């Protein structure tokens, strides 16, 4: 029977694919990148356009494959070459029919095109409202805007709260003006507000994508690309770099953390506070600070420690994550690892493994480089186990600890 | 260079191949040293052949070799992604493997497989004895092969394959970010292969325009030839663009230029524009030959003419034109600005219209027909269905807003595999089963063929169908691994299982070829026209004799061959007026003048990769490479149109056949010069066991 039935029929129409997808995975809590679980106006607008087109495509597919199936059954004759039946009517063309099925799809496409243009204009328009934020006791009017900078293989988010910095003020991405808040791997935004993103890169092209909130936009070195993002509800929205960017492309992840206005204000307050340096010379934290100064400070900035003489990192991109508030972030290593365990304790194991040799846990090009080449990623610093423990102790003091609920919400695998 | 080609000289009044052959030009040996090789038998014949059929076969065989290479790379990719945090390949090797999988499948498998069909079929379908420039044709093949081998040699001598993706976006392709030599091999390898495609495109365009048999108007050419002709035009205009881009990349990497270095103010989007201005027409370069195959197979096995020939041809032309106006739909999220995005979004949608016309016309061809489900027909119908899926998913990301979610995810991987594999590969597989008896003189077993088809179709859908879901679930492309917890596990495992089913189906194909060849001795020969087909290639024996047509046919209608077998009675009913055997030529013509073989295309082609290695490793290597190329060009220009000795009875090539016709020059209207050496089939209608068909 297998060889005698007709040609291949389409077994899995598009609608069924979507149904199956939803059934098997879509509604599961662990599908954090699912494009159909939209959590913002923009993402909804996109799906409102896409899903009807999926359905139209599914109908066309069923019709085409139905026709094939029907003819395969009805018009089939034995396949052997000496079949001698009378020839069917030799119809060579029918202009009216053909013009019809040229114009038919054309009309369908015109309808889809109009709908596309409407949505396209909508998702490319901005209506960001200025909000008031308190910075160092002063109230500032802030047009929600985050400068997003990609580099191999992590994302930096820069907030300019006290002055209105736009694309024109940014200069080149390797010498961005000093920002009030700089984070890595986690972008914190207030809910219900449209946040303008200015996306760029310091090395190769990356692409910034938080599927639940909006489509993606490439980060191109030397180019500042506008985009926007917003979230209806407080929550954590996962993202992944989607433009191939070299070795650890798959391990370049991020999260958008949407919080209420008051939580956002608290977060600003915490981030605007410089780190307090340990003073007890016998403590692990103090030793860790010294190790940090000797081994880490040439690349990583900690305000209050080396901001006086910091001139960017000795890497290809000229940057490394700002660690001033390291402990306030729940992920590290380009959004790949948890800073804290599920029980709220510090994730010493992953931190130690990372510092021991980053290349072991996230592949990079930082060791055994040819003469004159700069690292991409964090090199193996050759620290002793004791030094590693001390540095971790120091890092844990940087910034206020997130709440247990935040730790659980932002947990990565 | 055309002056040396005998096939285009002489008066054209009696048809392009009724040649005077330029006897005057060969009266003496230029420089007294160069002769044309005699061809003969065995491997030497293949190295010097300029016969479009042998070149077509070599293209096909080489393409299948690289199909296996690219297929193994695909299996490695699927093994790595079968489970989360896969450990089969390191990230570095994975990036090389997925890059080389793409490059190999596009440039070294499907394009040369299409070139195989183009070479073999275009002259036969338009009633010509060879292409317009036979030596250039050989050059195309050898240059392509040298580029292909050069490209893959980076695994051994280049420190690994290119690791920048087949699209090789700058600045990730720069020395800073890809310090191994892989990208150098990519750039130079594709430059070399590009020469081949460009030469071949010019050759086949001239062939189609100038070499048609008497009466073979452009609008009597089979749809296959039309689609191949459009493909050649696309190649002609697309390849210069990628050539420019690759030159810039090569200079950036090897000579410290900064065309793509944003640090120095370069715009990295320049590469993307150049790449996709080539890359999008490339999609049609891949798919149009398969459309051609389908347009031949479906009418034959529906016992009806193609429905709406004119619409089919013009929709192909429309696709060819519109294909140039949609490239930036690969760049919707690259930051090119909303106006450009809107414009390219609209242009992309409307390319669906001519494509839809094709699908509907194929359905109308089957409508009311008598459908014989041979393996070839199964593949053709499978192509229509699978391509429809790929076309429809293409419409879904022509919607720029939706594309911001879909692009660079597995949804795109699913889409273009439905187009390129579901459309292109399944279509060409159908072509393989359809024309196999014509090319090799024996049939491929139908039962095994159907196993081949169903396994391939099921495996294909299991592999790429789930990728639609994975993409919409947010799985990025080009990731060497993924974490558990995103819901990617199940469908990735399904896809990996599917990929191995495809691998089995390819093994079934190879088994079928091997076994059918062995069984062929006990079976009756397929005869000239085993499928009751419609176009001119079926009126000559199988396998096709070296001179193609005993007598160049005079064409009076579309589907000329069918009309030589059938007519209509007064009631409009089809009546047979001749059997295929009666109407066909028997291949017995003697003394047909054919272009003489030449080794110089091969010599020239060998020089190019040497220059390539020189550019990468040591410029001194360019010297012997350049000398070889120069020698090839000069010797080519200076070698005689024919071997002067061939006009007398001489002892230079005793491996020739006995029935070699020596009174050629004065011989009848067939041709002016003697049969080309090696014309061993001229006197013998093909038998199934004929050595010529053995492959």
pLDDT digits (tens, 9 = 90+) for B52-72: 999 999 999 999 999 999 999
What does chain B come to in residues?
A: 695
From chain B, pick out residues whose CB is under 8 angstroms from the CB of A203: 171, 177
Binned at pLDDT 50, 70 and 90, residue B646 comes out as low
pLDDT over threshold 80, residue B574: yes
CA distance B455 to chain A (A): 11
Do the Cβ atoms of A112 and B361 come within 8 Å?
Answer: no
Alpha carbon dihedral A277, A281, A287, A289, in 10-degree steps, equals 20
How far is A333 from A351, CA to CA, in rounded Å? 9
pLDDT over threshold 70, residue B8: no
Binned at pLDDT 50, 70 and 90, residue A20 comes out as low
Q: Is A197 helix (H, G, I), strand (E, B) or coil?
A: strand
Q: What is the mean pLDDT of residues A236-260?
A: 95
Do the Cβ atoms of B454 and A240 come within 8 Å?
Answer: no
- CB nearest to A6's CB, from B172, B357, B373: B373
CA distance A214 to chain B (A): 7
How far is A381 from A388, CA to CA, in rounded Å? 10
Q: Which tokens is B551 given? A: 């007598």
HSE-CB at B232 with a 13 A cutoff on CA atoms is 22
pLDDT over threshold 50, residue B681: no
Q: Is B657 helix (H, G, I), strand (E, B) or coil?
A: coil
pLDDT tens string A55-93 = 999 999 999 999 999 999 999 988 775 667 788 999 999
From chain A, pick out residues whose CB is under 8 angstroms from the CB of B490: 24-25
pLDDT tens string B242-262 = 999 999 999 999 999 999 998
How far is B675 from B170, CA to CA, in rounded Å? 54
Whether the bond into B171 is cis, omega within 30 of 0 = yes
CA distance A135 to chain B (A): 33
ipTM of the complex: 0.92
CATH fold of A142-271: Immunoglobulin-like (2.60.40)
Q: Is B199 helix (H, G, I), strand (E, B) or coil?
A: helix
Q: What is the mean pLDDT of residues A166-180?
A: 91
Q: Do the Cβ atoms of B672 and B20 come closer than 8 Å? A: yes
How far is B478 from B476, CA to CA, in rounded Å? 7
Do the Cβ atoms of A223 and B305 come within 8 Å?
Answer: no
Instruction: Please state which CATH class domain B56-266 belongs to.
Output: mainly alpha
DSSP state of B407: T
Query: What CATH homologous superfamily does B273-537 map to?
Result: Cytochrome c oxidase-like, subunit I domain (1.20.210.10)
pLDDT tens string B112-159 = 999 999 999 999 999 999 999 999 999 999 999 999 999 999 999 988
Q: What is the mean pLDDT of residues B647-652?
A: 40
pLDDT tens string B295-323 = 999 999 999 999 999 999 999 999 999 99
Q: pLDDT over 90 for what percent of chain B?
A: 80
Q: What is the mean pLDDT of residues A355-362?
A: 94
How far is B652 from A353, CA to CA, in rounded Å? 76
Q: Is B562 helix (H, G, I), strand (E, B) or coil?
A: helix
How far is B491 from A24, CA to CA, in rounded Å? 10
Binned at pLDDT 50, 70 and 90, residue A109 comes out as very high
If you search the block for the tokens 């494009």, which residue do you land on? A35
DSSP state of A394: H
CA distance A337 to chain B (A): 11
Q: Do domains B56-266 and B273-537 have the same CATH topology?
A: yes
Phi/psi zone of residue A130: left (φ > 0), alpha (ψ -120 to 50 degrees), beta? beta
pLDDT over threshold 50, residue B21: no
Give me chain A's average pLDDT, please. 89
> What does R_g of chain B's alpha carbons equal in angstroms?
25
DSSP state of B332: T
pLDDT on residue B33: 57
Do the Cβ atoms of A7 and B356 come within 8 Å?
Answer: no
Q: Do domains A142-271 and A284-409 have the same CATH topology?
A: yes
How far is B576 from B417, CA to CA, in rounded Å? 43
Q: What is the mean pLDDT of residues B249-277?
A: 93
Nearest to residue A295, comparing CAs of A319, A314, A280? A314
Binned at pLDDT 50, 70 and 90, residue B37 comes out as confident
CA distance B8 to chain A (A): 35
Find, in chain B, the residue whose alpha carbon is nearest to that of A243: B408
Give the start-to-end residue ranges of the domains of chain A. Answer: 1-73+105-125, 142-271, 284-409
From chain B, pick out residues whose CB is under 8 angstroms from the CB of A245: 172
Residues 6+ apart with CB under 8 A from A172: A222
How far is A387 from A355, CA to CA, in rounded Å? 10
From chain B, pick out residues whose CB is under 8 angstroms from the CB of A214: 404
From chain A, pick out residues whose CB is under 8 angstroms from the CB of B407: 216, 242
pLDDT over threshold 90, residue B644: no
Q: Which residue has the higher pLDDT, B431 or A86?
A: B431
How far is A301 from A313, CA to CA, in rounded Å? 9
Q: What is the mean pLDDT of residues B77-84?
A: 96
Phi/psi zone of residue B265: left (φ > 0), alpha (ψ -120 to 50 degrees), beta? left
CA distance B392 to chain A (A): 6
DSSP state of B334: T
From chain B, pick out residues whose CB is under 8 angstroms from the CB of A85: 370
Q: Do the Cβ atoms of B460 and B426 come closer than 8 Å? A: yes
CA distance A274 to chain B (A): 33
Q: Give the rounded distance of the alpha carbon of B637 from its chain centre.
A: 28
Do the Cβ atoms of B469 and A25 come within 8 Å?
Answer: yes
Do the Cβ atoms of B92 and A7 come within 8 Å?
Answer: no
Q: Is B260 helix (H, G, I), strand (E, B) or coil?
A: coil
Give the start-to-end residue ranges of the domains of chain B. Answer: 56-266, 273-537
Do the Cβ atoms of B307 and A211 come within 8 Å?
Answer: no
How far is A313 from A193, CA to CA, in rounded Å? 34
Do the Cβ atoms of A35 and B356 come within 8 Å?
Answer: no
- The sign of the CA dihedral A57, A63, A66, A67 is negative
From chain B, pick out residues whose CB is under 8 angstroms from the CB of A410: none
If you search the block for the tokens 């013509």, which residue do you land on? B589
How far is B515 from B502, CA to CA, in rounded Å? 20
> What does R_g of chain A's alpha carbons equal in angstroms?
28
Size of interface A-B (CB pairs under 8 A): 347
pLDDT over threshold 80, residue B523: yes
How far is B61 from B56, CA to CA, in rounded Å? 9
pLDDT over threshold 50, residue B1: no
pLDDT tens string B529-553 = 999 999 999 999 999 999 999 999 9
Q: What φ, ψ does residue B535 adopt, rounded to 5°?
A: -110, 170
CATH fold of A284-409: Immunoglobulin-like (2.60.40)
B159, B268, B402, best to mutate vs chain A, most A CBs in 10 Å:
B402
Binned at pLDDT 50, 70 and 90, residue A9 comes out as very low
- CB nearest to B389's CB, from A10, A54, A85: A10
pTM of the model: 0.90
Do the Cβ atoms of B395 and A57 come within 8 Å?
Answer: yes
User: To which H or E segment does residue B514 belong?
Assistant: helix B489-520
Give me chain B's average pLDDT, please. 88
- CB nearest to B389's CB, from A61, A94, A121: A61
Q: Locate all alpha helices (DSSP H) within B399-488, ordered by sequence.
A: 400-406, 410-417, 426-440, 446-472
From chain B, pick out residues whose CB is under 8 angstroms from the CB of A2: 454
Binned at pLDDT 50, 70 and 90, residue A30 comes out as low
pLDDT on residue B45: 87
Do the Cβ atoms of B372 and A77 come within 8 Å?
Answer: yes
């Amino acid at each position: 029977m297998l060889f005698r039935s007709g040609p291949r029929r389409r077994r899995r129409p598009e609608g069924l694919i979507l149904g199956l997808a939803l059934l098997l995975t879509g509604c599961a809590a662990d599908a954090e990148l699912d494009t159909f679980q939209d959590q913002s106006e923009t993402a909804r607008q996109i799906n409102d356009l896409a899903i009807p087109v999926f359905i139209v495509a599914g109908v066309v597919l069923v019709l085409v494959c139905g026709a094939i199936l029907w003819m395969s059954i009805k018009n089939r004759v034995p396949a052997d070459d000496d079949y001698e039946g009378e020839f069917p009517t030799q119809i060579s063309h029918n202009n009216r029919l053909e013009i019809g099925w040229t114009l038919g799809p054309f009309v369908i496409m015109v309808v889809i095109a109009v709908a596309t243009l409407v949505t396209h204009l909508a998702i490319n328009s901005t209506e960001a409202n200025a909000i008031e934020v308190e910075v160092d006791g002063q109230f500032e009017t802030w047009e929600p805007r985050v400068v997003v900078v990609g580099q191999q293989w992590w994302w930096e988010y820069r907030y300019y709260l006290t002055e209105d910095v736009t694309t024109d003020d940014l200069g080149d991405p390797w010498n961005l003006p000093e920002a009030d808040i700089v984070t890595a791997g986690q972008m914190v935004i207030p809910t219900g507000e449209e946040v303008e993103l200015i996306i760029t890169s310091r090395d190769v092209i990356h692409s910034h994508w938080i599927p639940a909130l909006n489509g993606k936009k490439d980060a191109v070195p030397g180019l500042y690309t506008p985009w926007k993002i917003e979230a209806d509800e407080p929550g954590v929205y996962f993202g992944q770099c989607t433009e191939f960017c070299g070795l650890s492309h798959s391990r370049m992840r991020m999260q958008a953390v949407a919080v209420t206005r008051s939580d956002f204000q608290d977060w600003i307050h915490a981030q605007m506070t410089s780190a307090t340096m340990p003073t007890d010379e016998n403590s692990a934290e103090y030793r860790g600070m010294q190790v940090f100064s000797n081994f880490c400070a040439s690349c990583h900035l900690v305000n209050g420690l080396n901001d006086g003489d910091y001139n960017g990192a000795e890497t290809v991109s000229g940057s490394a994550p700002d660690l001033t508030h390291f402990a306030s972030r729940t992920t590290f290593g380009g959004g790949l690892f948890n800073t804290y365990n599920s029980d709220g304790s510090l994730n010493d194991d992953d931190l130690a493994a990372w510092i021991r040799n980053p290349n072991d846990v996230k592949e990079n090009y930082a060791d055994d480089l040819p003469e004159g080449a700069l690292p991409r990623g964090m090199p193996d610093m050759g620290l002793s186990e004791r030094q590693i423990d001390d540095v971790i102790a120091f890092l844990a003091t940087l910034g206020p600890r997130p709440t247990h609920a935040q730790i659980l919400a932002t947990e990565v695998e | 260079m055309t002056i040396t080609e005998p096939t285009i000289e002489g008066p054209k009044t009696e048809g392009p191949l009724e040649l005077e052959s330029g006897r005057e030009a060969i009266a003496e040996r230029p420089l007294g040293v160069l002769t044309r090789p005699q061809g003969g038998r065995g491997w030497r014949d293949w190295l010097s052949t300029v016969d479009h059929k042998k070149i077509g076969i070599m293209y096909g065989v080489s393409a299948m070799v690289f199909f296996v290479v690219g297929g193994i790379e695909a299996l490695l990719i699927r093994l790595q992604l079968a489970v989360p945090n896969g450990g089969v390949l390191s990230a570095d090797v994975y990036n090389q493997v997925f890059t080389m999988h793409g490059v190999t499948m596009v440039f070294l498998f499907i394009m040369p497989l299409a070139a195989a069909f183009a070479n073999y079929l275009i002259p036969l379908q338009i009633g010509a004895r060879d292409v317009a420039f036979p030596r250039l044709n050989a050059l195309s093949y050898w240059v392509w092969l040298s580029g292909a081998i050069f490209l893959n040699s980076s695994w051994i001598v280049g420190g690994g394959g290119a690791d920048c993706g087949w699209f090789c976006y700058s600045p990730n392709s720069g020395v800073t970010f890809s310090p191994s030599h892989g990208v150098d091999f990519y750039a130079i390898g594709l430059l070399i292969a590009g020469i081949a495609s460009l030469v071949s495109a010019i050759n086949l365009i001239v062939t189609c325009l100038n070499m048609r048999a008497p009466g073979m108007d452009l609008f009597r050419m089979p749809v296959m030839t039309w689609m191949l002709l459009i493909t050649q035009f696309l190649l002609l205009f697309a390849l210069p663009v990628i050539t420019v881009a690759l030159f810039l990349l090569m200079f950036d990497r090897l000579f410290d230029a900064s065309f793509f270095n944003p640090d120095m103010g370069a715009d990295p989007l320049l590469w993307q524009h150049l790449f996709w201005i080539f890359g999008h027409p490339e999609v049609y370069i891949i798919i149009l030959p398969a459309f051609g195959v389908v347009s031949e197979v479906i009418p034959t096995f529906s016992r009806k003419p193609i429905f709406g020939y004119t619409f089919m041809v013009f929709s192909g032309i429309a696709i060819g034109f519109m294909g140039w106006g949609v490239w930036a739909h690969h760049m919707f999220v690259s930051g090119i600005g909303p106006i450009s995005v809107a414009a390219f979004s609209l242009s992309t949608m409307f390319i669906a219209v001519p494509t839809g016309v094709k699908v509907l016309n194929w359905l109308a061809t089957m409508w009311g027909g008598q459908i014989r489900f041979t393996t070839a027909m199964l593949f053709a119908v499978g192509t229509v269905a699978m391509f429809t899926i790929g076309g429809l998913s293409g419409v879904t990301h022509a919607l720029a807003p939706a594309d911001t979610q879909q692009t660079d995810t597995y949804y795109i991987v699913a889409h273009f595999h439905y187009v390129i594999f579901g459309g292109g590969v399944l279509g060409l597989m159908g072509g393989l089963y359809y024309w196999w008896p014509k090319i090799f003189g024996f049939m491929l077993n139908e039962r095994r063929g159907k196993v081949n088809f169903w396994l391939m179709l099921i495996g294909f859908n299991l592999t790429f169908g789930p990728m639609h879901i994975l993409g919409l679930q947010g799985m990025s492309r080009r990731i060497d691994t993924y974490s558990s917890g995103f819901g990617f596990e199940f469908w990735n495992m399904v896809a990996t299982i599917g990929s191995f089913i495809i691998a089995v189906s390819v093994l079934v194909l190879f088994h079928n070829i091997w076994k059918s060849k062995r069984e062929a001795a006990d079976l009756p020969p397929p005869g000239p026209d085993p499928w009751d087909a419609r176009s001119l290639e079926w009126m000559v024996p199988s396998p096709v004799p070296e001179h193609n047509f005993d007598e160049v046919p005079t064409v009076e209608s579309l589907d000329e061959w069918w009309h030589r077998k059938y007519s209509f009675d007064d009631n409009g009913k089809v009546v047979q007026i001749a059997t295929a055997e009666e109407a066909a030529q028997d291949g017995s013509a003697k003394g047909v003048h054919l272009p003489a073989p030449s080794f110089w295309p091969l010599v020239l082609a060998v020089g190019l990769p040497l220059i390539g290695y020189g550019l990468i490793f040591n410029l001194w290597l360019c010297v012997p490479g350049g000398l070889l190329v120069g020698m090839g060009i000069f010797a080519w220009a200076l070698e005689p149109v024919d071997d002067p000795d061939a006009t007398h009875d001489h002892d230079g090539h005793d491996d020739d056949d006995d029935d070699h016709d020596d009174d050629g020059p004065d011989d009848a209207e067939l041709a002016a010069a003697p049969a080309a050496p090696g014309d061993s089939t001229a006197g013998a209608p093909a038998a199934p066991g004929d050595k010529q068909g053995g492959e």
